[in-house]
Amino acid sequence: MAPLTRARSGKDGVPNALMAAYYAQRASAGLIISEATGISREGLGWPNAPGLWNDDQVEGWKLVTDAVHRSKGRIVAQLWHMGRLVHPDLGGGQPVSASCTTAPDFAHTYEGKKPYVAARAASFADIQRIIGITPRPREMRSPLASTASRFTVPTVTLSINSFATAPTSALTSTAAQSTIACAS
């Protein structure tokens, strides 16, 4: 089953019984790819979408995976970092992207749509940090592995740069990156 954002988690991004029922009803699909799931507050820009960066969210996902497994289904998580498409009003601060760019059009927030804000360019340390917090399947555990390594099923399928409407990468090197100023 293709991943389908449903926005049923609430502001805390914790999967719940409604989500468990939804996924269990679809267990016969074969392999379910979950709705896109934030790897961090910084990377989650869709109101009420689920996350996978803290213990409550892990426990919430267990509700879902247990329900799917009881119905003989299989499910993997689709991981999400939305880059410049995350509005600061969702609590993650200034968005980080490949470059200092501002996405066209409007972001979804809890108060409705708002213009996107300028992203800052990811530094090399940002890239290491974001990769470091990205959950990995159990067989790929590393010292950097985080919440999903305690998940009950293999979790990683895809990382996506959510529905970007234009290329964001204008950089060729970390040296060049440090000299590019963000447009406001």
Ligand X SMILES: Cc1cc2nc3c(=O)[nH]c(=O)nc-3n(C[C@H](O)[C@H](O)[C@H](O)COP(=O)(O)O)c2cc1C
Q: Which residues bind ligand X (CB under 6 A)?
A: 2-5, 35-36, 78, 160
Residue for token pair 């996902």:
61
Instruction: Record the tokens describing residue 70, joined without a space.
Output: 């009881």
Instruction: Considering the complex, state which of residue 24 and residue 36 has its C-beta at the smaller distance from ligand X.
Output: 36
Nearest distance in Å: CB 34, ligand X: 8
Instruction: Considering the complex, state which of residue 36 and residue 63 has its C-beta at the smaller distance from ligand X.
Output: 36
| Residue 96 three-state SS | strand
Instruction: Record the tokens describing residue 73, joined without a space.
Output: 């289904």
Instruction: Considering the complex, state which of residue 158 and residue 176 has its C-beta at the smaller distance from ligand X.
Output: 158
Instruction: Record the tokens describing residue 94, joined without a space.
Output: 């200034």
CA end-to-end span of the chain, whole Å?
40
Instruction: Considering the complex, state which of residue 33 and residue 170 has its C-beta at the smaller distance from ligand X.
Output: 33
| Residue 80 three-state SS | strand
User: What does 60-72 look like in DSSP terms, one character per residue?
Assistant: HHHHHHHHHHHTT
Nearest distance in Å: CB 78, ligand X: 6
CA dihedral 140, 1, 47, 141 (to 10 degrees): 0
Give the integer Cα–Cα distance in Å for 114 and 110.
10
Nearest distance in Å: CB 108, ligand X: 12
Instruction: Considering the complex, state which of residue 145 and residue 160 has its C-beta at the smaller distance from ligand X.
Output: 160
Beta bridge partners of 32: 75
Nearest distance in Å: CB 77, ligand X: 11
Nearest distance in Å: CB 71, ligand X: 21
Instruction: Considering the complex, state which of residue 57 and residue 100 has its C-beta at the smaller distance from ligand X.
Output: 57
Nearest distance in Å: CB 4, ligand X: 4
The answer to whether the CB of 86 falls within 8 A of the CB of 44 is yes
